[in-house]
Amino acid sequence: MGAIFSSIIAFLTPPRSALKKVGGWQFVGTLSEFKENSLVKTYFGLPVILIKNGKGLFSFSTVCPHLGCIVIWDEKKKKFICPCHDAAFDEEGKVLKGPVKPYNLLPMEIKVEGERISLKLPEDKLPAYPSWFRITMISGV
């Protein structure tokens, strides 16, 4: 049983070889490109999310602060769920439940200049998504 659980955790946790360094301010799009209540997954192959909702723009890492697994948006529950231990985070990256309390998802700085949106990505390395993963727009956040 432990071997199965370990295999699942290994599958959900990006390998060290997938670490990628980008860092600094990166242009990600314009305000008009992002519809209200939309979520954009990944920038530059990094596990970063940008959300636009009625409260504004939010960006954070999708790496769970507990085991480093990638959280997944649950459309029905309207929250991010960690597949490794069922922790939950709201659409602003704030922890709702689970063993990660009091740690929220790591926020990314957002800069808006006119219509241009830029994110300040960390200088240190974050796990990269696989090369087949592409930017995806999801409505209803």
Q: What is the pLDDT of residues 3-41, one digit of tens each?
A: 544 444 444 444 444 444 567 888 888 888 877 766 665
The rounded distance, in Å, linking the Cα atoms of 73 and 116 is: 25
The rounded distance, in Å, linking the Cα atoms of 87 and 7 is: 19
| Angle value at C-alpha 103, between 60 and 12, nearest 5 degrees | 65
Residues 6+ apart with CB under 8 A from 51: 38, 39, 40, 57, 58, 59, 91, 92, 141
Confidence of residue 43 (pLDDT cuts 50, 70, 90): low
Question: Over 80: is that where the pLDDT of 105 sits?
Answer: yes
CATH code, domain carrying 122: 2.102.10.10
Q: What pLDDT is recorded for position 121?
A: 78
Q: What pLDDT is recorded for position 141?
A: 41
Q: What pLDDT is recorded for position 1?
A: 53
Question: Over 50: is that where the pLDDT of 93 sits?
Answer: yes
Q: What pLDDT is recorded for position 124?
A: 62
Total domains present in the chain = 1
Buried b (16+ CB within 10 A) or exposed e, 106-120: bebeeeeeeeebbbe
Question: For residue 65, what are the domain limits?
Answer: 2-139
